[in-house]
Structure 1
Amino acid sequence: MTPINKKALSETDIISKFIMPAVKKSGWDDMTQIRQEVRLRDGKVIVRGMAAARKTVKSADIVLYHKPSIPLAVIEAKANKHEIGKGMQQGLDYANLLDVPFVFASNGDGFIFHDKTNPSQLESEITLEDFPTPEQLWDKFCAYKGYQPAQLPIITQDYYDDGSGKSPRYYQLQAINKTIEAVSRGENRILLVMATGTGKTYTAFQIIWRLWKAKAKKRILFLADRNVLVDQTRINDFQPFDQAMTKITGRKVDPAYEVHLALYQALTGPEEHQKAYKQVDPDFFDLIIIDECHRGSAAEDSAWREILEYFSPATQIGLTATPKETDEVSNIDYFGEPIYQYSLKEGIEDGFLAPYKVVRVDLDIDLQGWRPTKGMVDKQGHEIKDRIYNQKDFDRTMVIDERTQLVAETITNYLKRTDPMAKTIVFCNDIDHAERMRRALINCNPEQAAKNDKYVMKITGDDEVGKAQLDNFINPKKPYPVIATTSELMTTGVDAKTCKLVVLDQNIQSMTKFKQIIGRGTRIDDRFGKLWFTILDFKKATELFADERFDGIPEKVINTKTADINDPDSDFDDMMDDTEASDEHKAQEPDGNYDPNANKPFDNPSSAEIGAGDWGEDEDKVNKYHVNGVPVKKLGERVQYYDEDGKLVTESFKDYTRKTLNKTFSSLDEFVRRWDQAERKQAIIDELAAEGVIWEVLEQEVGKDLDPFDMICHVVFDQPPLTRKERANNVKKRNYFTKYGELAQTVLQELLNKYSDEGVTAIESKDALKTGKIVELGRPLEIAKKGFGGKKQYESAIIELEKAIYEIKPDKSA
C-alpha cells in the first residue's frame, strides 16, 4: 500500500483523514456534538453608488458542543504544508464569538491545544491520539464557569428547534446562555442590549423556552407598550407556545395560561379599577420580559413601573436597543449593567445588519434662516413676529409651503433615480406636518398615485385608515403603500425589513429616538434584495452619528430634579409616552408622544424648541404660522458612506478600493506577481470582490473599457492604465500568434478580440469556444484536439495568451 503523502493533501483531506477520525475516536458524537463548516458571520455589505457587495467570510472548520445550546471548542485545520499551529489565531477569533475557552489548531500531525481554563500553560501540543473526550472538556468547562450541580438542569436545557435548521446566531446564543446562567445563579434583574433588527424577540423566546422547559420558570409575562409588538410576537417568534399562551385583553388575567403577553395599558391605568395586575398575587409570575424597556418602564414615577414593582419577586429581564440614561431616567439603574451587548456597528460588521448611505440635503432657508417683511401676515391673517426663523422652527412653529414642496420633490427625484417602489418612511415633526407631506408627495407622483391611491399614506396614531395599512407597508410581499409619512408611530416596533429609504425632516434631539428611527432601515432581507438603505437627511439629524453615545452605552448621570418639559435635552417626549398622564395626552397627540407645540398655548416656550424671541406674552395664542410665496432653494447634496470604523465618510469608491487593497497588497510588484501566478484570473477577481470591490461601481468611476488588472494598477498603485483594446493590439503587434498553426491562430485571435470586447473572464469561460466565429470551427473538444493537441495544451495556450496580454512593459515600437 502506497503511504499517504500528507504534504500533497488539501485542508479538506486533512480534516477527513486525520482530524475527524481522531475526534470521533475520543468519543464525540458525530450527529449531536460535531458541526463542520460553521458559518458565524454573514459577511459585511459594502455600499457605493447604487451597488452593494458582501464580503466573503470564512467558516469555523469544526465546532464541538456539549449540547446544541452549549458550544465547547473550536478546531481550526490547515493543510499539512503549514506549521501545526497556523490556524490558532483564526480559531481564537471564532472562539471569542462563541464564548468558548478551548481552541485546537491542527495540520493533521497533532494539535496545538489552547486552554483558557489553564492560565499557567495556555497552549500545549498533543498527539492525535490524546484528543480530549467530551467528558474531559465538559468537566473543565463547568469548573471554568463555576457551575454548581443545582444549575446544570437549567443550563443544559436545549433551545427550541423546529427542525428547519434555524438556530440562534452566535451573538443570540451568547445572550441566551449568559441570561440562563444568570438566572440559574439566582439573579433577578437582567438587562440585554441588542441593536434593532438583531432578533431581540427571538432571543427572548429562546430564553423563556429553556427556562420554561426546565421548569425553572412556570408563569411568564411578556410586557410591551405597543399592540403591534405584542401581536407580532404572538404570531411569529412565540408561536411554539401554542395553547399555553394567551394575550391579556379586557383587563383580565386568566390564571389558566402559563405564558401571558400583555400591553402595559391592559394591566394598569390611572384609576384603581384599571389596575388589572392586582387580580393576581405578587408571586403569580416568576419571570417577566420587558420589551423596549428604554421607554416607560425605566422611569421611577411611571405608572407602568408599578407593575414591575408589584411583581418584584419575579425574575425581570429588560430588552432594549437603546438604554435610557438621562438626568431623570435609567434602566441600568433599575436592571443593573447589561449582561450582554450587541451593537449596530457589530451587526453591520458581521453582515447581519444593513449599512447606510447618508444623503445630506441643505436648503438655503435652513442654513441662512428666513425673516418676514415688516407687517407680514400668514395664511390665517396672523401678523408674523419679526425675527429670523431657522431650521428648528420650520414645520414646528413656521410652515413654509415651498419648503415642504422642495422636500417632497427631492424625495421623489431620489426614488425616480433609484427605485420608485422602494419602501420609504418620511419622519415629520408632527401629525399636521405628516399630512402636508403626504399631500405634497401625492402631487409630486401623479402617475404612481394613479396606479394605486395608496402609493403614499399617512400612518399616524390619529388616522385609522393609515394605521390599517401598517401591516401592508411592512409586508415585503405587498407593494403598497410605498411611502409612509409619520411623526412618532413608526419610530419603534415596526419590523419594516424592506425599508430602503428613511427620510429625516424632523428635529431629533433624543439619542434614544434617533437610534430607534435609524433602526427602521437596518434589517436585511436577501430574498427581496434589501442589503442596505439610504438616509435622506434634511435636518442635520445624522450629525448624531458622530456622538459617542450612538453606538454604545451612555454614561449614567442620574439626579433627582424634576423633568422640565421646556428643556429640549430632558427626553420628556419619551417619558410622557409612558406615564399616567399619557392617556389624557394621547387624546391630543394620537401618536402617543408629547409635543410641546401641539394643542397648547406658548406661555413660556423653550427658545431651543421654537426659536429665540418667538411669541411674546401678549401674542395671539396660535400654534403655527403658515405662509407661502417664499422662494426656497436646494444648496447642495452631500453623500456619505458607512466606513469600516463605523463612521460616516465622504469618499469615492476609488478611495475605498485603494484603502482596502493596500492592506492586501503591499506593493505593485506583489499584486502583479499574484496576478501572473494565478492560472485563472477570475480567481483573483473573485477574491478582490470578496474584499468588497464592486467592479461595476469602479467601472463607472474609472472607465468601462479597463480590465480589472488595469483598474487596480491605476486606482491602487497610480499606474497609467491601458485599455483592453490597447493591450490586445500590443499582443497583435508582437506577432505573437506565428508560433501556432492556422486553426490555433484563428481561435486565439478570436479569443483576443473577445478579451478586447468583454474582458479576461470571457476567454477563461468554459463556453469561450462556443461563441462567435469560433463555434463555426467545430465542437470545443474537436477544436482543442486539432488546433492545440488536446484539452491540456489548449488550457496552457490560454495561460500563455494571458501572460502576453498582461506583459507589464508592452513593446510599443514593434
Structure 2
Amino acid sequence: MHDKKQLSERDICTKFITPAIKNAGWDVHSQIREEVTLTAGRIIVRGQAALRAKGARADYVLYYKPGIPLAVVEAKDNKHGVGAGLQQALGYADLLNVPFALSSNGDAFMFHDRSGGTLIERELALGAFPSPQYLWERFKAWKGYSDQALPVVTQDYCDDGSGKAPRYYQSRAINAALEAIARGQERVLLVMATGTGKTYTAFQIIWRLWKAGARRRILFLADRNILVDQTKTNDFKPFGTAMTKITGRNVDPSYEVYLSLYQAITGPHEEQKAFKQFSPEFFDLIVIDECHRGSAAEDSAWREILAYFSAATHLGLTATPKETKEVSNITYFGEPVYTYSLKQGIQDGFLAPYKVVRVDLDRDLQGWRPTLGQRDKYGHEIEDRIYNQRDFDRKLVIDERTQLVAKIVSDHLKATERLGKTIVFCQDIDHAERMRQALVNENADLVARNRKYVMRITGDDAAGKAELDNFIDPEQPYPTLVTTSELLTTGVDSKTCKLIVLDQRIESMTKFKQMIGRGTRIEEDYGKLWFTIIDFRKATELFADPDFDGEPAVIFTPQPGGTTVPDEEENNGADDRTGDPDDTGGEADTALRKYHVSGVTVRKVAERTQYFGKDGKLITESIKDYTRAAVRAEYRSLDEFLRKWDEAEQKAAIIQELAEQGVIWEALEEEIGKDYGAFDLICHVVFDQPPLTRRERAEQVRKQDYFTRYGDQARRVLEALLEKYAASDITNIESIDVLRVQPLNELGTPVELVRAFGGKKRYRQAVQALERALYVRPAGTDA
C-alpha cells in the first residue's frame, strides 16, 4: 500500500488518476493528453528587460478525438482535498470552452458538469470516472449538434507532419466557424488580433470542410499580392495540386481551391470582371481576408464579387471589424462567432506587449504662426494663421521638426538596438521621403556601411517596394529603418519589428489597430519578445478608447438610395502594381499647397514611458513601483520576507519565485545598481532598507574570522565561493556544479573538494552556513 500523503502530485497522477481514466475506456494515445500547455505565459516588460510569466498548463485534457476537447482534469497531492484543483480546472475549461472539469487528489474525483440545464457538481469514486461515450453524448447535446453536422464538426484537422497544432484559441475559432456553417449560417465573421494566425485558422476551416465534402470549391480573396503569395506558399501548401492562384483574365475551372487578389478578377470595365467567367454557383465557400477593408462598403466594386457569388457561404476574417456610420462588417456578416482580442493575446503570451514613449514637442503644443507677409523657402506667401499639430506635414512643413523627430528616434535606437527593425509612419509620401533623408543624416555611419539601412517603402517607389520582402525577413538585416505612410499598415508579417514610430495623425481606430499590429508578433529566436511605440502625435490616446479592445458595435447608417460614403481604405495600398492611391504627397495636389519653412526653433518639452498593464490599460509606473507591488503581493512585511529567506535551503528558489511573480532583476539592477544582490535589491526597493553591495557583505564575513573553523583546502574553497558571490550573486554558489568552474576547479576535482568538508552533506551545510553569515542582521537594524 502507498502512503498517499508522502506522494508527490506527479506520483498521484501516475499511480491513481491515469489508471482511473484509462479504466473508464479512454484511449491513452488519442484521447488523453497530460501536462497540456494552453497559454505561453504573459511577457512582462520594464525598462529594456522582459521576462515571461508561467503559462496555463492543464494536468490532463481529455478529447473525443484529436482537436475536439471534452474535459479538463486537475491533479493535487494527497495533502489537498479532492476538490482543491477544481477552480483551476474550471479556468482551463473556460479557455477550451468545454463543459466538464474534474479535480482529484488520488482518493476520488470532484466532477463539475454544466452540459445540462442544471449545473451538477458531485464527488465520484476512483472507479466511477465517466466514459468517453458518456461525455461525448452530453457534449453533443450541449453543443446542439445535429446528425447532419457531425461529419463536419468531427472531421480531422490537417496534419502536415510538422508537429504544428492549433493553439487553444485557434481551435475555438475553427470549431465555432464550422459549427456555424454546419447549422446553415451563410455569413460568418471571425475576429482575431493581428499576429494570432488568422490565415492558418482559415486553412484548417477550409481543409476540414473540403475533406468532409461539405464545401468543394473555395475562393480565398485578399487585397494585397503579398498576402496571396504568403498564403499559397505557407499555410495553404497542403492543398497541393488542388490549388491555384488566379493571375490572368482566363480562368481554369479544373481546380478546387482558388486564391486571388480582388484586383485580378475585377475592375471598373466589364471586360475586367474575370470572376464572371465562373458561374454564380461555382464556389460554395468564399473566404475574405482582411474583410474590414474594401469589401466592407456596400457600394464597393469588390462587394460586387460577393454579390455575384451570393449562393456561397461567406467567411470574413479581420483583426479590426469596421463599424462606422458608412461601413459595417457586422451588418453584412452578423455578430462574430468568435473573437480573440489583442488584450487576450498579450495576457496569454502569444502576442508581444508594448511600451509607449510619448514625446511632446513645443511647436506641437503651442503651434506656429508666420510673421506678416512671410514667405516659405520656395517663395510662397504663407497664409496668416496659427498652424498646429493637425497641420504639420499636411499643410505646413517645419524642417527642424522633422530633424528633431529623426534625432529622437535615432537616439533611442543608439541607446537600445540600432539593428532592430523599425517602421516610421509618416503623414504622406512627401513626409516619408523627408523623414528618410533626416534619418540618413542621423545614422550616417550605418548608412555608409549599407545604404539600405534607411529606406522609404511607399506605394509609388518601386525600389522601396522591392525591398519589402527583405524588411520582413528575419534573416535579412537590411532594410532596417523604414519610413512609410500607408503601405505597411496592414498585411505585412514583420515578425521582428521592435520599434513603431507614429508621426502621423491617426483618427481611424481601424487604421491605428493595424499599425500597432505590425509589432505584436513574437519571435523568440531573434530576441523579439516586446516592442516599443514612440508617439509624436498623441495617437496612442486611442488606447484609452473603449473601442480599442472592446466588442464592436453596429452604428451603420444606410444612405438614401442605397449608396454609401466611399470607403477610404478600399484601394489603400491594395494594388501592388499601381501603388497607394491614398498615399499622395502634397505637391501632387495643386488644390492643397504645402508650405515649407526652416529656421524655426523646435524643442522636446516632455517624454514619458507607459507600459501595458495586467488589465490591458497603459500605466505609467516606475520599475521601483512595479517591483514593490509585485513583492508585497507575496510578502506583506519585511519580517515575513526575511523569515522566508532565512528558512530557504536554496535562495535561488526565492529569486526564481519572485521572477515568476513579475520581478525583473535585470531592470532593477539597471536602475539601482549592478553591485547589489537580489536580497538587498528587494530589501531596499520594497522595504526601504539601506542596501549593502555584495562586496560589502563579503568583507563583513571576512572580518568575522569565519573561515578559521575549517581546514586549509575547505577554507580555500569557501574563500573562492565568497569571491564568486561578490562578483555575481548567491545563485551561482548554491549549485555544486560551481566546483567545476574557475577558480574552484584549480583547487582540485569536485570529489576532492567535497571530501575536504567530510562529504557532500557537510559541504552543503558549510555553504548554508556561509549564506547565513552573509545575511546576518547587524545589531540595531531591521535588516
Tell me: CA distance 1:800–1:146, structure 2 relative to 1, closer, same or farther (3 Å).
same
Match for residue 758 of structure 2 among 789, 801, 805: 789
On the 8 A contact 1:98/1:170 being kept in 2, the answer is yes
CA distance in structure 1 between the aligned counterparts of 2:227 and 2:743, rounded to whole angstroms = 63
CA distance in structure 2 between the aligned counterparts of 1:377 and 1:323, rounded to whole angstroms = 45
1:711-722 matches, cutoff 5 A: 711-722=681-692
CA distance in structure 2 between the aligned counterparts of 1:685 and 1:298, rounded to whole angstroms = 52
On the 8 A contact 1:458/1:484 being kept in 2, the answer is yes
TM-score normalised by length of structure 1:
0.92
Match for residue 591 of structure 1 among 568, 580, 584: 580
Tell me: CA distance 1:471–1:83, structure 2 relative to 1, closer, same or farther (3 Å).
same
Deviation at 1:5, TM superposition (A): 1.6
Residues 672-725 of structure 1, C-alpha deviations (whole Å, 9 max, x = no match): 233223211111111222223221110122222222122112222223333333
Determine whether 1:803 maps to 2:772: yes
On the 8 A contact 2:40/2:56 being kept in 1, the answer is no
CA distance in structure 1 between the aligned counterparts of 2:718 and 2:332, rounded to whole angstroms = 75
Residue number in structure 1 paired with 2:24: 26
Residue number in structure 1 paired with 2:4: 6
On the 8 A contact 2:430/2:585 being kept in 1, the answer is no
Residue number in structure 2 paired with 1:512: 510
1:610-649 matches, cutoff 5 A: 623-649=593-619
Does 269-278 or 289-298 show the bigger shift? 269-278
Deviation at 1:34, TM superposition (A): 1.2
Match for residue 370 of structure 1 among 368, 371, 376: 368
3-state secondary structure, aligned to 1:150: coil
Q: Percent identity?
A: 63
Deviation at 1:729, TM superposition (A): 4.1
Deviation at 1:573, TM superposition (A): 2.7
On the 8 A contact 2:400/2:600 being kept in 1, the answer is yes
Determine whether 1:656 maps to 2:631: no
Tell me: CA distance 1:22–1:375, structure 2 relative to 1, closer, same or farther (3 Å).
same
1:265-344 matches, cutoff 5 A: 265-344=263-342
On the 8 A contact 1:573/1:595 being kept in 2, the answer is no
3-state secondary structure, aligned to 1:348: helix
Residue number in structure 2 paired with 1:529: 527
CA distance in structure 2 between the aligned counterparts of 1:808 and 1:9, rounded to whole angstroms = 37
Residue number in structure 1 paired with 2:193: 195
What one-letter code is carried by the residue in structure 2 that aligns with 1:803? R
Residue number in structure 2 paired with 1:608: none
CA distance in structure 1 between the aligned counterparts of 2:525 and 2:581, rounded to whole angstroms = 34
Does 546-555 or 194-203 show the bigger shift? 546-555
Residue number in structure 2 paired with 1:550: 548
CA distance in structure 2 between the aligned counterparts of 1:195 and 1:650, rounded to whole angstroms = 25
1:428-577 matches, cutoff 5 A: 428-561=426-559, 573-575=568-570, 577=572
3-state secondary structure, aligned to 2:314: strand
Residue number in structure 1 paired with 2:396: 398
Tell me: CA distance 1:268–1:667, structure 2 relative to 1, closer, same or farther (3 Å).
same
Residues 568-625 of structure 1, C-alpha deviations (whole Å, 9 max, x = no match): xx895325649xxx99x997xx3132769674454xxxxxxxxxxxxxxxxxxx5211
Deviation at 1:808, TM superposition (A): 3.7
Deviation at 1:40, TM superposition (A): 0.8
What one-letter code is carried by the residue in structure 2 that aligns with 1:123? E
3-state secondary structure, aligned to 2:511: helix
Deviation at 1:304, TM superposition (A): 1.0
Tell me: CA distance 1:207–1:774, structure 2 relative to 1, closer, same or farther (3 Å).
closer
Does 253-262 or 739-748 show the bigger shift? 739-748
CA distance in structure 1 between the aligned counterparts of 2:117 and 2:671, rounded to whole angstroms = 53
Residue number in structure 1 paired with 2:42: 44
CA distance in structure 2 between the aligned counterparts of 1:157 and 1:220, rounded to whole angstroms = 17
On the 8 A contact 1:730/1:811 being kept in 2, the answer is no
Does 503-512 or 702-711 show the bigger shift? 702-711
Residues 742-772 of structure 1, C-alpha deviations (whole Å, 9 max, x = no match): 5444433443343233221122132333456
Name the count of aligned residue pairs. 781
Residues 753-807 of structure 1, C-alpha deviations (whole Å, 9 max, x = no match): 4323322112213233345665454322223223x22101211222233233223
CA distance in structure 2 between the aligned counterparts of 1:494 and 1:576, rounded to whole angstroms = 16
CA distance in structure 2 between the aligned counterparts of 1:317 and 1:812, rounded to whole angstroms = 68
Tell me: CA distance 1:659–1:571, structure 2 relative to 1, closer, same or farther (3 Å).
farther
Deviation at 1:420, TM superposition (A): 1.4
Deviation at 1:299, TM superposition (A): 0.9
Residue number in structure 2 paired with 1:358: 356
On the 8 A contact 2:368/2:388 being kept in 1, the answer is yes
1:85-96 matches, cutoff 5 A: 85-96=83-94
Does 29-38 or 191-200 show the bigger shift? 29-38
What one-letter code is carried by the residue in structure 1 that aligns with 2:316? G
Tell me: CA distance 1:779–1:577, structure 2 relative to 1, closer, same or farther (3 Å).
closer
Residues 445-495 of structure 1, C-alpha deviations (whole Å, 9 max, x = no match): 222112112111111111111111111110001111111111111110000
Residue number in structure 2 paired with 1:665: 635
CA distance in structure 1 between the aligned counterparts of 2:409 and 2:724, rounded to whole angstroms = 42
Residue number in structure 1 paired with 2:80: 82
3-state secondary structure, aligned to 2:221: strand
Residues 305-328 of structure 1, C-alpha deviations (whole Å, 9 max, x = no match): 121111111111110111111111
3-state secondary structure, aligned to 2:533: strand
On the 8 A contact 2:116/2:138 being kept in 1, the answer is no
1:127-276 matches, cutoff 5 A: 127-276=125-274
On the 8 A contact 1:599/1:623 being kept in 2, the answer is no
Tell me: CA distance 1:485–1:478, structure 2 relative to 1, closer, same or farther (3 Å).
same
Residue segments in structure 1 that go unaligned for 5+ positions in a row: 603-621
What one-letter code is carried by the residue in structure 2 that aligns with 1:574? E
Deviation at 1:726, TM superposition (A): 3.8
CA distance in structure 2 between the aligned counterparts of 1:373 and 1:433, rounded to whole angstroms = 24
CA distance in structure 2 between the aligned counterparts of 1:20 and 1:462, rounded to whole angstroms = 63
CA distance in structure 2 between the aligned counterparts of 1:649 and 1:689, rounded to whole angstroms = 20
Tell me: CA distance 1:773–1:679, structure 2 relative to 1, closer, same or farther (3 Å).
same
Residue segments in structure 2 that go unaligned for 5+ positions in a row: none
3-state secondary structure, aligned to 2:505: coil
3-state secondary structure, aligned to 1:341: strand
Residue number in structure 1 paired with 2:671: 701
Tell me: CA distance 1:81–1:284, structure 2 relative to 1, closer, same or farther (3 Å).
same
What one-letter code is carried by the residue in structure 2 that aligns with 1:233? T
Does 735-744 or 21-30 show the bigger shift? 735-744
Tell me: CA distance 1:321–1:145, structure 2 relative to 1, closer, same or farther (3 Å).
same
CA distance in structure 1 between the aligned counterparts of 2:725 and 2:166, rounded to whole angstroms = 46
Deviation at 1:132, TM superposition (A): 1.4
Residues 603-656 of structure 1, C-alpha deviations (whole Å, 9 max, x = no match): xxxxxxxxxxxxxxxxxxx52111222222222322221121212222211111
On the 8 A contact 1:111/1:125 being kept in 2, the answer is yes
Deviation at 1:352, TM superposition (A): 0.7
On the 8 A contact 2:376/2:597 being kept in 1, the answer is yes
CA distance in structure 2 between the aligned counterparts of 1:758 and 1:596, rounded to whole angstroms = 56
Residue number in structure 1 paired with 2:655: 685
What one-letter code is carried by the residue in structure 2 that aligns with 1:323? P
What one-letter code is carried by the residue in structure 1 that aligns with 2:556? I
